Structure 1
């Protein structure tokens, strides 16, 4: 008696719309059925009126009784009614379909707008986070960012001479064979002048050329970078990239290299390019093979391997 007022059940607007359209559809079909019954009865009456009662018995058009034309016209009207019910006016009608389409488009647009707003906020937060990280995280050096064994390969005289006029001072066949055997299949990092000393790119090696020139032209497959850091990054897929010269590149690479493959030519030469001094406190000699001079080699030399301690 004093309880809460009983709530009346609510019908969803879309469900109500479906019910109303269904009711309208039933009425359409009932009218069509009534039209069909009336058409059959009318046809019978027209035939009886002409043949039994003699109404318009003598009236013909092109030799055909008038009631035939009347029946055909009525049949056309019935077919037109049938077409309207099942073709022109579908179950929910064109207007209803258009209305539902507009609703769907509006809902999708609202979802898109919501997603865009969320993405915009996420991008702003990410940008702020990246700026914060960049400002508060110390920049890593080359030594900590590389994940491969960076190896220097060089042929140097007793006075550390490595070249003159952008050319080798000596020709040692075994040294060239060793260079090819060690570097084949790897990235070789070099300065522009060293690259230009080659008649053409060396086979079976990926050349990474360091130059300050922004429009430096190279053959297909040669990688051009602007710094040693970029060269190491370009070689990150290689477990053992090689630094092959020249003097300035060796100087930059020595503090961060893991290994040195040195051909020490036991002679001193005049030169304009030199290899830096190898500090025995930093580098440990792990291999040394001596070669005497012979018919194919004008100088004594040694293959020496150093590894960072």
Structure 2
């Protein structure tokens, strides 16, 4: 079975994914969706994103991309110096989720089979951005809209994009 790589991210309409190494929004229902989609799966994540105060970690397996790994790894944590080493470490997996940050998303976008991409319907300030991608390369397989309410300041759409096969 071929390793499938899935990007999972939330971005604002102006492509912001972070501010000061944190999410610029609090969307509990989007986090519940994230947990459901990624349950029991391995993650590839950059070091800064892994260390973010609001980071979500896999209870199964986390591969952290860093040029400076610690001497002692935490349980369920492995380290890789780059994308190719991270993929090699996870070659026995079938589904792997890419959690960012921005440079990891940029490097992984050409390799991803799917994108679970939540669009937060707002223009927000930030210092980390999701890379531009060509919508012609992707098919929108599903989209679930969530309006604002007492727990969600912003409305958002949880989208699943599947990479189109070359013709």
TM-score, length-scaled by structure 2:
0.92
**More helix by proportion, 1 or 2?**
1
Listed one character per residue, the Cα deviations across residues 158-193 of structure 1 (whole Å, up to 9, x for unaligned) are: 000000110010000011001111111111110000
Listed one character per residue, the Cα deviations across residues 100-126 of structure 1 (whole Å, up to 9, x for unaligned) are: xxxxxxxxxxxxxxxxxxxxxxxxxxx
Q: Answer whether contact 2:46 2:104 (CA < 8 A) is retained.
A: yes
Q: Which moved more, 1:277-286 or 1:151-160?
A: 277-286
Point out where structure 2 has 5 or more consecutive residues left out of the alignment. Answer: none
Listed one character per residue, the Cα deviations across residues 233-261 of structure 1 (whole Å, up to 9, x for unaligned) are: 11122211000010000000001100000
How far residue 215 of structure 1 moved from its aligned partner, in angstroms, is 4.1
Provide the residue aligned with 1:191 in structure 2.
46
How far residue 277 of structure 1 moved from its aligned partner, in angstroms, is 1.4
1:277 lines up with 2:132 in the alignment: yes
How far residue 217 of structure 1 moved from its aligned partner, in angstroms, is 4.6
Listed as ranges, the matches of 1:72-83 within 5 Å are none
Runs of at least 4 residues of structure 1 off by over 2 A?
Answer: 198-205, 214-218
CA distance in 2, matches of 1:216, 1:297: 40
SS of residue paired to 1:245 = coil
Q: Relative to structure 1, is the Cα distance of residues 179 and 272 closer, same or farther in structure 2, using a 3 angstrom cutoff?
A: same
Listed as ranges, the matches of 1:98-247 within 5 Å are 147-198=2-53, 202=57, 204-215=59-70, 217-247=72-102
Work out which of the residue numbers 281, 292, 295 in structure 1 matches 2:147. 292
Larger Rg computed on CA atoms: 1
Q: Answer whether contact 2:41 2:58 (CA < 8 A) is retained.
A: no
Work out which of the residue numbers 95, 99, 112 in structure 2 matches 1:257. 112
Listed as ranges, the matches of 1:44-55 within 5 Å are none
Number of residues of Structure 1 aligned to a counterpart in Structure 2: 164
Q: Answer whether contact 2:147 2:154 (CA < 8 A) is retained.
A: yes
How far residue 202 of structure 1 moved from its aligned partner, in angstroms, is 3.0
Point out where structure 1 has 5 or more consecutive residues left out of the alignment. Answer: 1-145
Listed one character per residue, the Cα deviations across residues 186-242 of structure 1 (whole Å, up to 9, x for unaligned) are: 111100001111478735231110001154653132100101111111112221100
CA distance in 2, matches of 1:235, 1:272: 30
**More strand by proportion, 1 or 2?**
2
Q: Answer whether contact 1:201 1:207 (CA < 8 A) is retained.
A: no
- Structural RMSD (CA): 1.8
Q: Relative to structure 1, is the Cα distance of residues 216 and 200 closer, same or farther in structure 2, using a 3 angstrom cutoff?
A: farther
